[in-house]
Amino acid sequence: MSKFEFIMMFVSVVVAFAMAELLMSWGRIIRNRQRISQPWLLAGWSAWLLTIMTYHYLGFWEYQAYDFTRVGPMLLFLAAPIMMVLLTYALMPEIRHYKTTNLQEHFFQQKNWFFAMVIIFLCLSRASDPLLPDFSETWLQRLFGTIVVSLSVIWLFFTRNIKVHLALMIFNLTYLLTVSVYFPVRGLTAF
């Protein structure tokens, strides 16, 4: 087993934990759907988060060119997947079997935590890019998507306007899906 394969086993467990928590939360929401209202914002951002997780996992492939021999780069490499797990916990509600849950209200209660963690996640994902051999030629391309997503998310800190939130959620989902069709995965955020 190569060093990269060994490291990827650990990273895979962390990413799988984030995906499992997200999917289990969807399952709890589906099971309790009679007591759930206004799910659209949470559904859209959780679909965005699942897509980001998938991109992030595919982005690890580029790092096989790096020789992980020091703890510092390894921690930098692991920081974004760990943040993914925390993002999932910040976004998804705790569904109680005996209680009605308004998912839109839950989203607005959690939005600042979630969006702050999205920005931290994007920064951590980009922080390990200098480890890549082609970083000097591709850093501008890699930075563009991070800036676009970060600016749209920062706007959401300052408003509870449902139309703005829906529009920027649709924009982010559309942007991510468009990038997925036309561009190869680059680094840990893939856009």
Predicted pLDDT at 19: 95
Q: Rounded to an integer, what distance in angstroms lies between the CA atom of residue 77 and that of residue 129?
A: 9
Predicted pLDDT at 84: 93
Q: Specify if 33 maps to a domain.
A: yes
Q: Specify if 191 maps to a domain.
A: no
Contact 188, 161 (CB under 8 A): no
Q: Specify if 67 maps to a domain.
A: yes
Q: Specify if 189 maps to a domain.
A: no
Q: Which helix (H) or strand (E) holds 36?
A: strand 36-37
Q: Specify if 161 maps to a domain.
A: yes
Half-sphere exposure of 164 (CA within 13 A, CB side): 11
Residue segments in the chain with a per-residue pLDDT below the cut of 50:
none
Contact 25, 88 (CB under 8 A): yes
What is the CB neighbour count within 10 angstroms for residue 187?
A: 27
Predicted pLDDT at 148: 87
pTM of the model: 0.87
Per the structure, the complete domain to which residue 166 belongs is given by 3-182
Give tens-digit pLDDT for 75-111.
Answer: 888 899 999 999 999 999 988 777 888 999 999 999 9
Q: Specify if 187 maps to a domain.
A: no
DSSP characters over 161-178? -HHHHHHHHHHHHHHHHH
Half-sphere exposure of 5 (CA within 13 A, CB side): 2
Q: Rounded to an integer, what distance in angstroms lies between the CA atom of residue 76 and that of residue 79?
A: 5
Q: Specify if 144 maps to a domain.
A: yes
Q: Specify if 190 maps to a domain.
A: no
Domain count within the chain: 1
What lies within 8 Å, CB to CB, of 103 at 6+ separation is: 29, 36, 37, 38, 39, 41, 42, 43, 93
Q: Rounded to an integer, what distance in angstroms lies between the CA atom of residue 163 and that of residue 105?
A: 14
Contact 79, 127 (CB under 8 A): yes
Predicted pLDDT at 189: 57
